[in-house]
Every structure is written in structure tokens, then in C-alpha cells.
Amino acid sequence: MDRKNALNDKILLSVEKPARYTGGEINSVMKDKDKVDIRFAMCFPDVYEIGMSHLGLQIIYTLLNNRDDIWCERVFSVWPDLHNIMKADNIPLFALESQDPIKDFDFLGITLQYEMAYTNVLQVLDLAGIPFNASDRTDADPIVIGGGPCAYNPEPLADFFDMFYIGEGETVYYALMDLYKEHKKSGGSKMDFLIAASQIPGIYVPMLYEVSYKEDGTIGSFRPKAEYADTVPETIIKQVVSDMSFEMYPENPVVPYVQATQDRAVLEIQRGCIRGCRFCQAGYIYRPFRTRSLEALKKYAEKIIANTGYEEISLSSLSSSDCPFLGDLLDFLIKEFHENKVNVSLPSLRIDEFSLDIMSKVQDVKKSSLTFAPEAGTQRMRNVINKGITEEDIMDGSEKAFLGGWNKVKLYFMLGLPGETEEDIKGIADVAENIAELYYDTVPKEQRMGKVAITISTSFFIPKPFTPFQWEPMYKPEVYLEKAALLNETVKSKLNKKSIKYNWHDAKTSVIEGLLAKGDRRICEVISKVYEKGGFYDAWTEHFDYDRWLEACDEAGVDMDFFVYRRRSLDEILPWDFINIGVTKKFMLKEYDNSLKEIVTPNCAEKCSGCGAGCFGGGICIENKN
């Protein structure tokens, strides 16, 4: 097919990393646009290197392009240098494969992976020439659909999207596309299609619903508008893949020309998590716990490496240690790829189950630092958050790591957790110090590979929707920084302080993330005003401006204290209550109560706690009953 670059050579030579915008990569899909019925632009609203590292985008790309009647292309946020040129020269945002303007497509699908990319959603719409508000669009505009983990509270973006897909993409996308084809043939209006689409399970069309507020600012009601009450569902049920082994998987992923942030093949071994950490949104929204079969994973691994030439393969999941056949899978991968020097990386391992056997298998190919996530510095606090590991587990896992030849350890913690005390904060430094001492006690001097190097990283706790902590408030930035300063001082007082490095997240960014995570429709205006003031790429420290967000809140009449620093009433209607993730609110309340009592809830493999996710009829919930 004829294909002309949307950007001329002069522009491409004037911007950083022009290969971000040219397309034509290995395994990218080219079709004749005149021979397809639906054109779908799949967008990751961040820079190319990050978007191309995202497995979900590759899955939807593969899923849609597997049909002859659909052509799915990719589009990403452009970097500020090109953004300015496109605005000045009126160049419309384009898809990589065809280089055609996004405005010519039937659908613009935007994956919402993290809240700080919300301003980039408006950048994409702006450069594409699509009106920000769904209510201002015509039948000629693409249908804008959002999905991903942040779609589980779609309300802060409700004005900007025609629809949201709540759940896993493999389930009802084909039904949605078939409905659209019928709609195109019949010549119906966009509104006709949106009303019909709202009846497909998992599809939420914000403009068909209305919200009322009480005098105190809390939500009074959330329901379908009166004229749609008989056709639109009151509750949106998330969509779940029951059998992970037979779903389409990207065996020919697009290989980027520019080095991606995660420059490796990705093998998704399972979804969901059995652990139930009370701060972890992913652990609840992706229930039930489901694994792909060992045979399917072997096949995928062979094909992906053969089709890409990657030198590393990463096992993707929320907790890889919980995979029942992890050892067998690693044996296969190392045997299969060792001669070709393909490295196997293992994120998401639990410190209490990180066996010497597993470590020794991986280190045969490449040895790097080990990453553990105790999350809290004292046993009391770990019980509050239901982390389910003890100090003994941490030390035992570290000892095995040191005996296996490692001397670099990364430790992840959170500050500002509910009920946190100074003792809990100082306990983080104690954990690092104890691990450092253990290294010198465990490894004989002649066998050491230099000094032990321990890196502590702390993020600031953000109470996310669909977690037992969703009612909790956040702290103001200065309080978070006081906590980080206390920890920093404590680290510096330790005997092994030279072996311990401490990094902490930006507190102001965390607070804005909390606003976007827990907000309702009133936040849409704030996001619009931030973008109007020049704000986008807020996930990037160098582009984030806290004062710009505060100004936008003031102008929109949004009170930060109300959304971020207020403990929510347990009987309050939450902005995301209309979504059914399977896990019941009754269970969340029970878990919240357990956190106050410092009670640990057994993981799903040990005992079913009746969270409700069994309603989806698959995964560990069903397997444990058989």
C-alpha cells in the first residue's frame, strides 16, 4: 500500500528520537485500509518507549488485528518538542502504521495505566483534533474508549470518553466491534450505537448516567438518566477471562526501533493475586487468581523469542512465586535459551518463598540485584496491611540470596500507611541494617563480591478504589516529607549506613495521584484547566507542576481537602460504587475492620475468605472447591 510519512524529513531531523514516529517496525501489522470495515487506533498516552513496553497494548493489537475486517494501529503521546511543532504547523496526530490522522479512524482506544497520564489523554485528543468533551463530538469523530486499571474509577475522566471498557480486553471487544459494523451498515447515529453498546457487559457510557450531590459535597445518587432507565444497566460488571490458556497471546509482538523502557520479551504467566495486601488495587480488581498452562507458556516463549530476537524474557505477574509450576517453567526456559544467552528475569518474587534453588537457576544466565517488597518496617504494620510475611521470612530470604552469590538488594516500602507510628518508620531502617549485618555474618570475607549494597525505596501511600483502605485519607505533602526525613536520619545513624542508600518518591505528585484516583466527575474540569495551562507529561518529574494543579483546583472550585485529606464515611456512596468487580463491599469493610484490629487474613491458596470473586466461575476460587 502507498504510505507517506506524516512528518517530513526536516521535522524528523529536528526532534529527539525520530524513530518514535515513523512506524515500520518488525512485526507491525500493515493492511489495506480500503479492505477493512473498522479502523481502530490503540493509544498509550505516554512516550513511545514506555507505551511499547506495555503488554496490554500488544494483546489488544494482536486481538483486533487477528480479524481481517479490523485494522488496529498504534499511537502514542508525542514528546514536547514535536508537540510544539504539530501545534504550530497544524499537523494532526497520526497512527504509526498508516501515518493517517487519528480523526479518520472509527475508534480511538486509550489505555489508562496510571493517573498521572490523564493530562496526556487531553494532549492526544487536542493534537488529533477531537473535541475534549464527548458531548461536543459529532458522528464524524472517532468513538473514544478507555480501558485499563484506572478505568475502575472512570469518573475523573467521564467527560472525555464516549465509553469505558471495564475488565480484561479479550472478552467482549469482538462483540463491540460486531455491533459497530451493524451500526455502520444501518446508518444509525453515534448515540444509537452508544445506547446499544451500553448493554454489552462491561461497557460503561458516562453520558447516559447522572450524578446528584448532597449539601456536604458527597454523592447523593448515581443512576442512569430517566430516559435510559429501562435500557441502561445500573451496575457495570467487570469482564474476566476464565481460561487463560486458550486466549490469544502476542506471539509476534512489535519490536520497537527505539530501545523500550522494558526491552525484552514478556511472558504473562498468570493474572490476579492470592495475597490480599490491603493497599494493592491490582490484587483486588484482577481477582480471581488464574494461571496459564505450562504447555501454553512454553509454546509462547519459543515463538516470541524466535519472532523477535530479544535477549531477555521476563515473567510477568503480580506475584510470580505463587505460580504452581515456576520451577518447571524456569528449567524449560533456561534449557531452551541458555545457549543463545537469553536472560530470564523474575520480577514480583516474594521474599519468603524465594528459594535458593530458584535463585541459582536464574543466576546461571545473569546475576543482578534482588528486589523484595516488605512494604512496612514492623510486624505490626505488616499485619495491618496484610502483607503476610514476618521478619524471619525477610531474613531467611536474604540469607538464601547471599549464599546464592547476591550482594545487592532493593527493598520497597510505603510511608504514610494507615495507623503508622514513628516506630514503624524507623523500623524500615532497622530492616535494612539487619540485612546488612546478616550479609557480613553469613558470607565469609574471602567469598564476598565486595560490600553489600542495599537500596531502600519508599513510595507514599495512596488509598486506591476497590481496596480495603479506600475510605482512608492521605497526608499533606509536608507531612509525607517529614516521614521521609525521619527515615533518612535513622538510616544515617546506622552502623552500616554506607551500605544503605535511601530514595523516596515525590510527595506532591503522590497527592495529585490521590486526587485523580479517588475523584469524581468534578475533577474533569481540573484536568482540563491543567492542560489549558500547559500541563501534560505529569508522570515525568521535569514536567510536573504542583502549583499548576492547585491553581486549576481553585479555578474549578474543587477542594483538595474534600477529595484527598478527608476520611470517607463507610456508608458514603463512592464514585466507583456502580462498578461490580466481584469482590464485595461487605468483604472490603470486613478487611478494613481486620486492618484496624491488626488481623491477618489467610491467602486464597490457604483458605477462601469469601471475597466474592468466585462469581466469575474460574481460577483458584473454583479450583479450590473441586
| pLDDT above 60 (res 356) | no
pLDDT of residue 160: 98
pLDDT of residue 332: 92
From residue 253, alpha-carbon distances to 32, 33, 147, 309 in Å are 20, 21, 20, 11
Confidence category of residue 365, pLDDT binned at 50, 70, 90: very low
Q: What is the mean pLDDT of residues 28-46?
A: 97
Residue count of the chain, please give it.
Answer: 626
Q: What is the mean pLDDT of residues 469-473?
A: 98
- Residue-range domain boundaries for the chain: 9-166+169-237, 239-348+582-626
Lowest mean pLDDT segment, chosen from 148-152, 293-297, 580-584 = 293-297
Q: Alpha helices of 418-476 — where are they, by DSSP H?
A: 422-442
Give Cα 351 to chain centroid, integer Å.
22
Count Cα atoms within 13 angstroms, Cβ side, for 267.
32
| pLDDT above 60 (res 407) | yes
Task: Pick the more confident residue, 574 or 331.
Answer: 574
| pLDDT above 50 (res 366) | no
Q: What is the mean pLDDT of residues 448-461?
A: 93
CA pseudo-torsion sign 577, 581, 586, 591: negative
Count Cα atoms within 13 angstroms, Cβ side, for 414.
22
pLDDT of residue 402: 86
For residue 589, which amino acid is it?
L
Q: What is the pLDDT of residues 59-108, one digit of tens each?
A: 999 999 999 999 999 999 999 999 999 999 999 999 999 999 999 999 99
Lowest mean pLDDT segment, chosen from 22-26, 27-31, 619-623 = 619-623
Burial per residue of 115-152, b for 16 or more beta-carbon CB atoms within 10 angstroms, e otherwise? bbbbbbbbbbbbbbebebebeebeeebbbbbbbbbbbb
Contacts of residue 216, defined as CB under 8 A and 6 or more positions apart, other chains included, come to: none
Looking at the chain, the whole-number percentage of residues with pLDDT higher than 90 is 81
Q: How far apart are the first and last CA of the chain?
A: 54
Tell me the three cell numbers of residue 450: 565486595
Tell me the three cell numbers of residue 54: 506495555
pTM as predicted: 0.95
Tell me the three cell numbers of residue 154: 472512570
Mean of all residue pLDDT scores within the chain: 93
Confidence category of residue 297, pLDDT binned at 50, 70, 90: very high
E strands, 305-443, where? 312-316, 343-345, 370-375, 408-415
Confidence category of residue 486, pLDDT binned at 50, 70, 90: very high
Q: What is the CA radius of gyration of the chain?
A: 25
pLDDT of residue 346: 73
CB 488 within 8 A of CB 543: no
* Alpha-carbon gap, residue 471 to 575, rounded angstroms: 12
CB 301 within 8 A of CB 330: no
Q: What is the mean pLDDT of residues 556-577?
A: 97
Q: What φ, ψ does residue 83 adopt, rounded to 5°?
A: -55, -45
CB 515 within 8 A of CB 564: yes
Confidence category of residue 450, pLDDT binned at 50, 70, 90: confident
Confidence category of residue 161, pLDDT binned at 50, 70, 90: very high
Q: Alpha helices of 114-172 — where are they, by DSSP H?
A: 118-128
Contacts of residue 401, defined as CB under 8 A and 6 or more positions apart, other chains included, come to: 354, 359, 370, 409
Looking at the chain, the whole-number percentage of residues with pLDDT higher than 70 is 95
pLDDT of residue 246: 64
In DSSP terms, 412 is beta-bridged to: 457
Q: What is the mean pLDDT of residues 326-339?
A: 87
pLDDT of residue 527: 98
| pLDDT above 70 (res 368) | no
pLDDT of residue 619: 86
Confidence category of residue 438, pLDDT binned at 50, 70, 90: very high
Location of C-alpha cell 472478552: 171
pLDDT of residue 398: 87
3-state secondary structure of 164: strand
Q: What is the DSSP letter of 626?
A: -
* Alpha-carbon gap, residue 174 to 160, rounded angstroms: 23
Tell me the three cell numbers of residue 165: 471498557
Tell me the three cell numbers of residue 157: 475522566
Q: Alpha helices of 136-251 — where are they, by DSSP H?
A: 173-186, 190-197
For residue 29, which amino acid is it?
V
Q: What φ, ψ does residue 460 adopt, rounded to 5°?
A: -100, 130
Q: What is the pLDDT of residues 217-270, one digit of tens each?
A: 999 999 999 999 999 999 999 999 987 876 689 999 999 988 887 788 999 999
Burial class of residue 377 (count of CB atoms within 10 Å of its CB; 0-12, 13-18, 19+): buried
| pLDDT above 60 (res 567) | yes
pLDDT of residue 360: 63
Q: What is the mean pLDDT of residues 300-304?
A: 93
239-348+582-626: what fold? Transcription Regulator spoIIAA (3.30.750)
Lowest mean pLDDT segment, chosen from 119-133, 165-179, 352-366, 521-535 = 352-366
| pLDDT above 50 (res 136) | yes
| pLDDT above 50 (res 35) | yes
Confidence category of residue 371, pLDDT binned at 50, 70, 90: confident
pLDDT of residue 349: 66
